[in-house]
Amino acid sequence: MQTARRLYLYLLSGIGLGVLVTGVGLLLTTLLEAIGLDGGSVLSGEQATRERLTLATAMSGVSLPVWLIHWFVAQRGVRPGRPEADVERSSAVRGLYFALVLGGLLLAAFLSLSSLIEGTVLGIAGEATFNTPASEVGLVVAAGAAWLYHLGVRLGDWRHGPITDAGAWLPRAYLYGATFIGLMVMLFGLADLFVLVARLVANSRDDTIVGAGGLWWAFPLASGVARVLVGGATWLGHAWYARRLWSDRGHRGSIERPARLRFAFYVAVLVVSAAAAIGFLGQVGRLLIGVALGVPEASGSGGLPGDVLAALLAAVLFVASWMVHSFELSRAAAEPAAAELIPRPDRLISYPTALVGLAVGAVGAARLIGLVVDLVLGGGQVLAGAESSDRAFADFAPFAILGIGIWMWHWSGIMRTAAADPTIEAASTVRRAALLVTLAVSILAGVASLGVILYRLFGTLFGLDAPASVASELSVPVGVLIVTVAIAAYHGQLLRRDGALRAAEEEVAPAAPSGMRPEIGLTLVGPAGVEPGTLVGVADGLRAQLPDGFDLRDERQMS
C-alpha cells in the first residue's frame, strides 16, 4: 500500500514539475525577448509573443498547484519526528524520483547551455546561427533553479540520518552517471578541438564543412568549445561533490566510500579511454601505412600532417585519462572502507583494458585473415565494397597490432599473477566475469559468421544465384570464424582450469556444521564522545553494503 502511495505522489510530482519548468522557461523566454534578447528569432513578433505568453501562463498555472500539493504531501512524510521518516527517506521510489529528476533537469540545462555557447561563439565568428539566446537562457534558469532546489532537499534528507538500500544507490547512480557523461563530453570535445587546431596549424582545410566567407572552422570551434565548457563544468561539479562525500567522516562517508558504483565509474572511464586511445593511435597508423602504400585518402581529409598531429594529440589525451583514473581507482581501493570489497584493484584495471584490446585486435585480425583468404582464392572484395587490398590492409592492420599488443601487455601481467597464486585468482569474480563475457561474445560472433557461411554454401547447392565472387563474400565471415574459434577455445580452457581449481579448494576447505552459518566477531568503535545513534547509523550503512546472504548482528538486540 505504501509503495502504491509513493508511486502516485512522486509520479504526479515529477509530471507537475516537468510542465512547470517548461512553462516558467517559456515565461522567461518571453520576458527576455521583450527586453531585446530575441537574437532575430523567426518566432518573434507581437502575435508570437502573445501566443507564447498564453501557453506559458496556462502551463504554469495548471502545473504549479499539482506539483505543490503532491510534493507537500511527499515531504511531510520525511519530516523529523514522523514515525516512518527514516523508511520514507530510504524508499526506492523516493530514490528513483531524485535520480530521474536531477538527471532530467541537468540534461535540459546541459543541452540549452551548450546551444547558447555554440550560438555565442558562432556570433563572434560572424556565422549565422539558429539558436535563440532568450529561449536557451530561459530554460537554463528554470531547470537550474529546480535542480538546485531538489539538490538541497536531497542534502537535507542526508542530514537527518543515513539513507540505505535503493534510496541511496539510485541517486548515487545519477551522481556517477553525470560525472561520467560530463567527463566523456569534455574529453571528446577537447579531441575535436585538437583536430581543428592541428588542421589550422598545418593549413589543412576540411572540405566536408561548409562555412560562410571561408570560415570552415567556425562550427567545429563552436561545438568543441561548448562541449568542453559544459561537459567540463558538469564533470568538475559532480566529481568535486563526490570527493566531498568520500572524505566525509560521518555516516554519509561510511556509506559512500565502499560503494560499488564508485568503482564501476572508474572501470567505465578506463574502458572508454582505452578504446578511444587505441582508436586514435590506429588512425595514425592507418594514415602512415596508407601513405607508404600509396593509397589515397577519402575526400574531406584535412591533409596528412594535420590529421596525424590531431590523432596523436587526441590519443595522448585519452592515454592520460586512462592513467589518471587507474591511479585513482587504486587509491580508492586502498581506503580502509573499500579494502575488503576490492582486495585486488589491479584486476579492475587489467581485465577491462585487456578485453578492450582483445576486441579491437580481434576485429582487425579477422579482417586481415579475410583479406588473405580473399587474395589466395582470387576474390575481388565484392562484400567489402570493392575496396583495394592495400586500403583494407592500411585500415585494419594498425588496429590488429595495437589491440593485440594491448591485450598481450595486460594479459601477461594477469597470467603472472595467476601463476603465482592460481587458487585465489581462479576464485576472482572479476576474472570469471571477464572470461565468461569473452567466451559468450566470441561464441555469438562465431555462430553468426558460421551462419553466413552455411547460408551461402547451401544457397549454392540449392541453385540460388551466386555472387560474382564467392571467395570475396565469404572472406570476412571466414576470418571472423577463425578468430572467434581461437578466442573461445583459449578462454574456455581457462574457465575449465579455474573451475577445477575452485572445486579442489572446496574439497579441502573444512565444511561448517550442518545448519550453522560461519561467522566472525567484529567490534565497531567510534571516537571519544560519539553519540550511540551515530554508531547505529554507521552500522546500518555498513549492513546495507553487504552482499546477499551476509548480515551484521547487533549483540545488544540478541542478549
- pLDDT tens, position by position, 150-170: 999 999 988 888 888 888 899
The pLDDT profile of the chain, 559 residues, written as one tens digit per residue, is 588 989 999 999 999 999 999 999 999 988 888 787 665 454 455 676 778 888 889 999 999 999 999 999 999 988 888 888 888 889 999 999 999 999 999 999 999 999 999 888 877 655 555 567 888 899 999 999 999 999 999 999 888 888 888 888 999 999 999 999 999 999 999 999 988 888 787 776 666 665 545 577 788 888 899 999 999 999 999 999 999 888 888 888 888 888 889 999 999 999 999 999 999 999 999 989 988 888 766 545 556 777 888 899 999 999 999 999 999 999 888 887 777 778 789 999 999 999 999 999 999 999 999 888 888 876 555 444 446 788 889 999 999 999 999 999 999 999 999 898 888 899 899 999 999 999 999 999 999 999 988 887 877 777 665 555 666 778 889 999 999 999 999 999 999 999 999 888 777 655 555 555 666 677 777 776 666 666 677 777 777 777 766 777 765 543 3
* Buried b or exposed e, range 408-428, using 16+ CB within 10 angstroms: eebbeebeebbeeeeeebbeb
Q: What per-residue confidence (pLDDT) applies to 385?
A: 44
Cα–Cα distance for residue pair 459/474, rounded to 1 Å: 13
Task: Indicate whether this model's pTM tops 0.75.
Answer: yes
Half-sphere exposure of residue 480: CA atoms within 13 angstroms, side-chain side? 19
Could you tell me if residue 463 is left (phi over 0), alpha (psi between -120 and 50 degrees) or otherwise beta? left
DSSP code for 464: P
- pLDDT tens, position by position, 503-547: 887 776 555 555 556 666 777 777 766 666 666 777 777 777 777
Q: What per-residue confidence (pLDDT) applies to 249?
A: 81
Q: What per-residue confidence (pLDDT) applies to 384?
A: 43
Q: Which three cell numbers stand for residue 223?
A: 561545438
Structural contact between residues 295 and 247, judged by C-beta atoms closer than 8 angstroms: no
